[in-house]
Amino acid sequence: MPPLLELRNVKMYYGVTNGVVKAVDGVSFVLNKGEAMALVGESGSGKSSLAFTIIRLLPRNVAEFSGEILLHDEELGTVDLAKMSEEELRRKIRWKKISMVFQASMNALNPILKVQDQMVEPLVLHLGLSKQEAIKIAEEALLSVGLAKDVLTRYPFELSGGMKQRVVIAMAIMMKPKLVILDEPTSALDVITQANIMNLLKELKAKFDLSYILITHDIALASEIADKIGVMYAGKIVEIAPSDIFFRKPKHPYSQKLLAAVPSLREEKAIEYIPGDVPSLINPPTGCRFHPRCPYMIKGKCEREEPPRKQVEGSEVACWLY
Ligand code: ATP
Ligand code: SF4
Ligand code: MG
């Protein structure tokens, strides 16, 4: 069976006054049906940009966009989202095949517009459903995320943060997509509510055989649900590995630093901070982009040549140490 989603050398650069921001710079990976991939990496590494690129919701200042974004779908066959028209994406792909929970989206719900209006309107407007059909779909989706139907008639200001996030997740799953991209879905919530939302995501994944791309700063959270982990650094994926292998033995020096920066409840250990800043994506470092911060940097090699991604003991790593 072909994978659900396959990215091949995807690039997306933003044009700014002083150059181009190489936010997504040659990203390739495969996501299987029913699989959850967590995308981790520091702020500004390009995670949200990659998400927007996949669903093709790009701002006007895009300077370059290339590569293939292949979706293998039972109904549509294999389609390249990178080549689809805006009209086709709207009619065939968004909501129905791929949906997205945007970063901070629960706060984007309009507090003085009833949930019903916000859930039903896109279905009527973009997918041409009747209002009656749309209400029925919205009610079912609310039940799936553990909310009562009558939440439809409430205003977001009447709901708790956890309930609002459930509404946003209900919107993402209501058209039964195959893939849901979740951009920091729990970062605005307290720890208990975070755990409840993660449990909900696990339930929905099993129930609807969903695939996820889960973007998070929180590696501990990623370990709860992800079948595999992709580590993004300065616009590139530097390591991608099955979760069990990744957490047992992260191979890229940046992945090792990321894990060492996670506080542990069980053992007393000093948290290590990653020295230096995320590099500029306008003038990224030459060779391996991590070389200015890497303790293992090989002089004469790492700052000159970009390491290709290689198979190393079940992981894929882009580093000259391997
Ligand atoms: P965070 O974890 O903080 O959400 P991120 O990994 O999601 O970060 P992005 O938001 O994808 O990172 O940003 C990647 C880079 O692209 C950053 O340098 C950011 O400033 C830049 N960027 C994002 N959107 C635009 C835009 N519309 N125009 C120009 N540059 C942008
Ligand atoms: Fe460090 Fe070199 Fe590996 Fe980059 S390629 S992570 S600089 S050892
Ligand atoms: Mg982001």
Q: What is the mean pLDDT of residues 274-288?
A: 90
57 CA distance to ligand 2 middle (Å): 33
Given ligand 1 and candidates 13, 14, 62, which is best to mutate, with the most ligand atoms within 8 Å of its CB? Answer: 14
Q: Is the CB of 318 under 6 A from ligand 2?
A: no
Confidence of residue 265 (pLDDT cuts 50, 70, 90): low
Per-residue pLDDT band for 108 (boundaries 50, 70, 90) equals: confident
- Tell me, what's the pLDDT at 230? 98
- Predicted confidence at residue 271, as pLDDT, reads 67
pLDDT band at residue 275 under the 50/70/90 scheme: confident
Averaged pLDDT for residues 54-64: 96
Q: What type of residue is 319?
A: C
This model of the complex carries an ipTM of: 0.98
The helix (run of H) or strand (run of E) holding residue 213 is strand 211-215
pLDDT tens figures, 119-153 = 998 889 888 899 999 999 999 999 999 999 999 99
Tell me if 14 CB under 6 Å of ligand 2: no
Per-position DSSP letters for 178-205, written without gaps between them: SEEEEESTTTTS-HHHHHHHHHHHHHHH
Residue 264 CB neighbour total at 10 angstroms: 9
- How many other CB atoms sit within 10 Å of the CB of residue 128? 10
Surrounding residues of ion ligand 3, Cβ less than 5 A: 48, 103
How remote is the CA of residue 46 from the centroid of ligand 2, in Å?
20
Confidence of residue 218 (pLDDT cuts 50, 70, 90): confident
The DSSP H or E segment spanning 241 is strand 236-242
Please tell me the number of the ligand nearest to residue 49's CA: 1
Mean pLDDT of 151-166: 94
Q: How far apart are CA 242 and CA 212, in angstroms?
A: 14
In a mutational test of the pocket of ligand 1, which residue from 11, 39, 40, 48 has the highest number of ligand atoms less than 8 Å from its CB?
A: 48
- Is pTM, for the whole model, over 0.90? yes
Question: Residue 96 corresponds to which tokens in the numbers above?
Answer: 């129905």
Q: Spell out the domain ranges in the chain.
A: 5-97+177-318, 108-176
The verdict on the CB of residue 291 being under 6 Å from ligand 2 is yes
Higher-pLDDT residue of 317 and 268 is: 317
CATH architecture of 5-97+177-318: 3-Layer(aba) Sandwich (3.40)
As a 3-state breakdown, the chain gives helix, strand, coil percent values, each rounded to 5, of 35, 25, 40
Burial of 236 (0-12, 13-18, 19+ CB in 10 A): buried
Nearest to 205 by CA among 2, 6, 72, 37: 37
Q: Give pLDDT, residue 188.
A: 81
Residue 264 — very low, low, confident or very high, per pLDDT cuts 50/70/90?
low
Residue owning the nearest CA to atom 4 of ligand 1: 43
